[in-house]
Amino acid sequence: MTHKILTLPLLILLLLLTLLPASSTATHAAPRCFDAESPAITDCIDGRIQSFWEQQGGLPVFGYPLTPAYQEQTEAGPITVQWFEYARLEHHPHNPAPYDLLLGRLGVDTFARQGRSPAQPEAPRVGCRFFPETGQNLCPPFLRTWLQAGLELGDPDISQGESLARFGAPLGPPQTQRRPDGQVITAQWFERVRLEDHGAEGVRVGPLGRETVAPETIRYTPLEQAAPLPPGGFIEASGHQLTRLGQPVQLKGINYYPQGRPWVAMWQDWDAYQMERELRLARDQLGINTVRILYPFEETFRSSRDHKMDGVMLNRLKEFVQIAGDLDLRLIVTLFDFYNGFPAAGTPEAEDNLTYLRTLIGNFAGDDRIFAWDLHNEPDHYPMWQEGNAAQVLDWLGRMADEVHRLAPHHLVTVGMGQYNHFWQPGPDGRRVIDYSDVISVHIYNAPDAIRQLDEVRRHTNKPILLQEFGWPSGPKCSTQDYNEVYQEQVYRTILEAAQGRVVGIFAWTLRDYDAGPTGRWDTREEHYGLYRADDSLKPAALLFQGYGVPLLPSNIKTNLPLTTTNPRPPRGEKAPIMIPETGHYIKDWYRVAWQELGGVVSFGFPLSEAFIRPEDNRVVQYFETGVFEIVPYAEQHPEFHLMTRAEQAMLMVRPVELGRDVTAGRNFPQGVNVAPNGRRFPETGYTVGGAFLGFYDGINGPWRMGFPISEEVIEEINGVPTVVQYFEKGRLEWDSRAGVVSIGRLGTRFWADRCQVNGDIGSR
């Protein structure tokens, strides 16, 4: 008989069970707990629920238990209920077997709780299965899953009754929905489940159990020490767990760059005092016990002329290790960050790699403040791998892992892979990343898929799994719909729930917002992954992160190095950022040059945003009260650029967006009506500019700032006051009759408000 399950491994398991003696499939006498494989799952399964869970597919089908079993009263008598990640199992002892164990109607219950009305009945459709009881069609791809994954109730093959027992009837047609990570999927609700179409990854059951059980019911349970442990002891991999001095260890860490100086700037513009302050705050407020830092190989080794370790950079790493150790934190150090070399064995560059490892790790081989060496950050996202040379990358990783194991036998080795399925891709020698990694470091930014990915990794290895990167950006403000603190909090809730029982530690990306405003960087989402805002206040996601409790990890090794700083200063010069106090935003680079050379507040108004990279087209834009301005790529390559005045260069580098054309789209302005006296006709568009408007136009570099006129003077209500206005390609001029002055209309304010209304500013302060 075919077993009604979702995965091939479970089918194989069933076939094996059918070959065992009958007594081997009898109900277990003892409850089944998960402390050995998942220490944070504290609830067990027992009795009829246990036997059903095991016989009908187990973990991939139902997930881990989220609550203990408990009794509920029904009209037919008491039943036993237990919640799981994907289902609610109900034992109805008054029903004959096998119908004494039922899946709860989570879909129906969710609809009722949300006050959703039943879907309108449909007509039967060709190629689909029609359900007259709900008036809905079930079509591919959901139909295929529904037909192939019923419960095992003893019917030949997979009967409709067995599929109904597993899923129920559809409650409505498929609909698109946006997940907390911004991914748009198609889902269809059924009486007992929600099926989700994830494209190439197939149809999956949604985690309705996790979504339904109250958050306070799902306990973030730290591993409790049997007794306080003394300092010291290397962290070791023991089966699927990490241990220190023989007791299990859970890690809670952050990926760290100091505020204002991410990436290589952390090491170039060094300030150990700032780092000590920020890490102490994270330890005291967030309860972290580990830190991950990324050490740039090119900057610390390859940039030296004699291909030796840069002594200054090495000392800075020693300072950081000391700071972490003094705060009772352990470290993961990523060794080859920002490196696309991956040279073949025996080449001069490969020898450079080995020299680097021997010099660097030789300084820390016996240091218990180091938890693990991370060979490379997401090597599968670098051009070498992406361009079809994965075998060369895997060969390099294996050789580097062997050398680090030799140099530091007391430290663990790991590789932070960008895609989970690359862990078991074999290299030229047949070894995979999971073979030479002591800890499997997974990066997950698709929060709704976290459970599936972690369970898939677990099926390939019994080694400890570390969630080395996860997170979500909360900005830039209004840049796109899902970059805000509300979505960030939802992602953290989903990830932390998925991590329970599946991983030995979690590392948030990242600790702080980097705060691009006072720096030379354009604002992007990378600046906003932090748990801390730039003013040291905590975001809502940080409060969830706080609840994941772990003990500190004191070490034995102590050093007494003086902390150093390069006294990093803000950028200087004519393009350095200046803060405009009226709105608190910065103007920098060519925006500052244009502001100062081309009219300042008269031409631009005050800034409404930072200069940011717009996600929809990757253009650098900044919103001001009177307009939107964008940087023109490669304008500096103009052959006569160096001969131009600064104002001419600024007009070439910064371009006003044609808001006037956008706001008047569809309007028809007749020519020659209300033409101002002494006007100048523009043959490019056929309209005339005259009077006070013409003098103002000429004074603000009109062709650059406003473009050509696209209307004559007209009267419109501005803030409820009849006002003479004239539209241009890039804006609108307005005559204030009371003050007797001309100004540029605030179309930038209008377009910024529209953008924020569409993209939202949910949760921003």
Dist CA 392 CA 399 (whole Å) = 11
One domain for residues 307 and 395: yes
Q: Which two tokens stand for residue 380?
A: 């599968």
The DSSP output letter for 635 is G
Lowest-pLDDT choice from 149-163, 302-316, 576-590: 302-316
Q: Is residue 764 part of a domain?
A: no
- What pLDDT shows up at residue 304? 56
Strands 680-682 and 687-689: antiparallel
Beta bridge partners of 78: 73
One domain for residues 370 and 478: yes
- What pLDDT shows up at residue 227? 59
Q: Which two tokens stand for residue 436?
A: 């030479």
Residue bearing the bigger pLDDT, 216 or 178: 178
Phi, psi (deg, nearest 5) at residue 682:
-105, 110
Q: Which two tokens stand for residue 638?
A: 């103009």
Q: Is residue 293 part of a domain?
A: yes
**Span 440-467, pLDDT tens digits:** 999 999 999 999 999 999 999 999 999 9
**pLDDT at residue 731 is higher than 50:** yes
Domain of 365, CATH number, reads 3.20.20.80
One domain for residues 332 and 298: yes
Lowest-pLDDT choice from 181-195, 388-402, 514-528, 737-751: 181-195
One domain for residues 168 and 279: no
**pLDDT at residue 580 is higher than 90:** yes
Dist CA 749 CA 620 (whole Å) = 18
**Span 254-271, pLDDT tens digits:** 999 999 999 999 999 999
One domain for residues 531 and 601: no
Q: Is residue 763 part of a domain?
A: no
One domain for residues 508 and 377: yes
**Span 590-605, pLDDT tens digits:** 999 999 999 999 999 9
**Span 86-111, pLDDT tens digits:** 999 999 998 888 889 999 999 988 88
The residue ranges of DSSP E strands in 399-458, in sequence order, are 412-417, 440-443
- What pLDDT shows up at residue 719? 86
Q: Which two tokens stand for residue 29?
A: 């006498």
Burial code (b: 16+ CB inside 10 Å, e: under 16) for 424-457 equals: ebebeeebbbbbbbbbbbbbbbbbbbbbbbbbbb
Tokens 């008054």, residue located: 94
Q: What is the dihedral of CA 272, 278, 283, 286, to 10 degrees?
A: -160
Q: Is residue 439 part of a domain?
A: yes
Asked which of 634, 657, 680 is the last residue of a domain, the reply is 657
Q: Is residue 3 part of a domain?
A: no
Closest CA to 714 of 656, 681, 675: 675
**Span 615-641, pLDDT tens digits:** 999 999 999 999 999 999 999 999 999
Burial code (b: 16+ CB inside 10 Å, e: under 16) for 346-382 equals: eeeebebbeebbebbbeebbebbbbbbbbbbbbbbeb
Angle at which helices 485-499 and 450-460 cross, to 10°:
30
Whole-model pTM over 0.95: no
Q: Is residue 565 part of a domain?
A: no
Q: Which two tokens stand for residue 255?
A: 């990926």
**Span 646-660, pLDDT tens digits:** 999 999 999 999 999
CB proximity list for 290: less than 8 A, separation 6 or greater: 251, 252, 253, 329, 330, 331, 332, 371, 505, 507, 553
**Span 3-14, pLDDT tens digits:** 344 433 333 333
Dist CA 365 CA 411 (whole Å) = 8
Residues of the chain with pLDDT > 70, as a percent, come to: 91
One domain for residues 352 and 485: yes
Q: Is residue 569 part of a domain?
A: no
Contact criterion met (CB below 8 Å) for 355 and 400: no
pLDDT band (50, 70, 90) for residue 213: confident
Residue bearing the bigger pLDDT, 673 or 148: 148
**pLDDT at residue 204 is higher than 90:** no
Asked which of 216, 249, 266 is the last residue of a domain, the reply is 216
**Span 581-592, pLDDT tens digits:** 999 999 999 999
Three-state DSSP string of 521-532: CCECHHHHCCCE
- What pLDDT shows up at residue 323? 98
Into how many domains does the chain fold?
Answer: 4
Q: Is residue 17 part of a domain?
A: yes
One domain for residues 354 and 255: yes
- What pLDDT shows up at residue 39? 63
Q: Which two tokens stand for residue 661?
A: 């054309």
One domain for residues 609 and 744: no
Strands 136-138 and 129-131: antiparallel
| DSSP calls for 544-590 | HHHTS-------S----PPP-B-------STTS-EEETTTTEEE-HH
Q: Which two tokens stand for residue 199?
A: 């494209």
One domain for residues 182 and 300: no
One domain for residues 247 and 377: yes
Residue 474, domain extent: 220-226+238-546
Provide the mean pLDDT of the chain.
Answer: 89
Dist CA 161 CA 131 (whole Å) = 13
Dist CA 282 CA 289 (whole Å) = 9
Phi, psi (deg, nearest 5) at residue 610:
-80, 160
Respond yes or no on whether the N-terminal peptide bond of residue 141 is cis (omega within 30° of 0): yes
- List, edge to edge, every strand of the sheet that includes 184-189: 175-178, 184-189, 194-197, 203-205
Residues 407-431, mean pLDDT to the nearest whole number: 97
At residue 301, the 3 state secondary structure works out as: helix
Asked which of 623, 639, 657 is the last residue of a domain, the reply is 657
Tell me which long-range contacts 753-759 makes (C-beta under 8 A, separation of at least 24). Answer: 755/478, 755/623, 756/477, 756/478, 758/481, 759/478, 759/479, 759/480, 759/481, 759/483
One domain for residues 676 and 653: no
